[in-house]
A and B are shown apart, each in its own frame.
Chain A
């Protein structure tokens, strides 16, 4: 068990999708099999960087997500490594049947980008807030599901989706800027959880943008004398079962945090492991089986209990309950 903190405090804020764009360009430079497909929101998902550098390897397919996944499958079946990115509500959910049969059943290296994940998408409202994508992507055999926590890690994850994953991968990104807190020297290993802060009283397990909220929550808990560990699950599938079991052994209380429905997401994945191998008290923080709405990201995180303050309060209550 590591004992030091492994995150940076003062970094600029960047959206994770920015890291996706950079990672895509980087991997395309080193692997000429990489191609990218556009779904009319190419710059919004930061694929324009790839498009500028590799115009011959970019194919615009318009607002036709089902076709994009099938075309990606056809290209992968012919030796390419296609990236197909759009908002997660479209890339994971409108295309689910194509992903299931053409991509996952064929078990081919199509890399799917799901941008605008979570409630923090903000004013666009429920239609654009991907809150069910993890559940659906995780249920697909052969699929790897990545959910990086900041721009640095998104860049690493995007490259790792090619260098470390042979088959299909889904990579989830947020819309809003988040502090870029992952030290660049912290290597990204698909399937390996990262303990970013040690702690003995409980473990906050988070994914995506919620990792930063969990780190802030841990600091708030620390002010109250509670020593919370923070674990970053950047790979939701395959999940790092051993790290979860170790965390349960070490701290005895787990609180999961995700910008996703509580059904089928990170909390479910953690519960699947711990309930069978190391049952300990578990609190799942996420969207409680409801749709989101318009608002600023800050307002929405607070309203739906995903803000650091909410997380700290829930964790403290749970800890007090099991101690009493």
Chain B
């Protein structure tokens, strides 16, 4: 069982570590999705090192909380969090996207990487999977919790709202969805590509408990996750406002960094920027 110190200073340091690992692994891979991986580092630090009740040395421990990554393209930060939590070695992060690697470009169960609950990479499927897991926990009278991580652009997929409806219908208080609300997607700002607002009201209308927080603040995230248990008859969504590329000022909020990897020069500059920020 993970009993990492939940104090925020440790989580801030871990988020920085995850960002370094993301930059290094993407730089070696030569391709991948940097922007959202950096933006989600604080959320993954809080999830894997404070929120999740899990057991990295026994990845299929039956009573573990489940984390469903619905946006497979942020695999670099997901892998970094799992490696730092002890599911596999950090050295393996440098095999990202290579032939034969367990660290596939998008998460795969076929590749048998410990800790991967489900494949993902086609947007809009993870919330349904999380609903199925939460229903199972209720059916089996288990108290493990299900967390799912989504992008904001992903919410444009209709299947998300089918799943949202069913989560509320079955009062799945054991399900918490986290939305990475960075406001940008590949074609540009989300509001111009396909507007999502009023987003909180949409989830409220679908019967969800809605929390909003600064997704790049460890304290704000800890506070939000703490509030999840205040409601025992509905699913919770945490709309986490993040900055794509957070931690590396020269690329923050620049959506052209959605699907790019840094070259060697950029890698060094980004790591220096990280050091200066912390």
Contacts and interface: CB of A to CB of B under 8 A. Distances in A.
Interface of A: 35, 56-57, 59, 61-62, 64, 66-80, 82, 97-98, 100-102, 105-107
Nearest to B122: A101
Contacts of B31: none
Given A59-B135, A75-B132, A98-B159, A70 B125 contact: yes
A106 B118 contact: yes
B165 A102 contact: no
Interface of B: 66, 68, 108-110, 117-122, 124-137, 139, 158-159, 162-163, 165-166, 169-170
B139 A57 contact: yes
Given A64-B166, A76-B132, 14 more contacts: A69-B128, A70-B126, A70-B131, A71-B128, A71-B129, A73-B129, A74-B132, A75-B132, A78-B136, A97-B122, A98-B159, A101-B120, A102-B125, A105-B109
Contacts of A64: 162, 165-166
26 contacts: A59-B135, A62-B165, A68-B128, A70-B125, A70-B159, A71-B132, A73-B129, A74-B118, A74-B129, A74-B130, A74-B135, A75-B136, A77-B132, A79-B136, A82-B132, A97-B122, A101-B119, A101-B121, A101-B122, A102-B125, A102-B128, A105-B108, A105-B110, A106-B118, A107-B109, A107-B110
Q: Taking each of A67, A75, A82, A98, which has the highest tally of chain B beta carbons within 10 Å of its own beta carbon?
A: A67
A74 B165 contact: no
A70 B110 contact: no
B132 A70 contact: yes
Contacts of A57: 139
Given A59-B170, A73-B128, A102-B125, A66 B136 contact: no
Contacts of A78: 66, 132-133, 136-137
A320 B12 CA distance: 81
Given A74-B130, A80-B136, A98-B159, A62 B118 contact: no
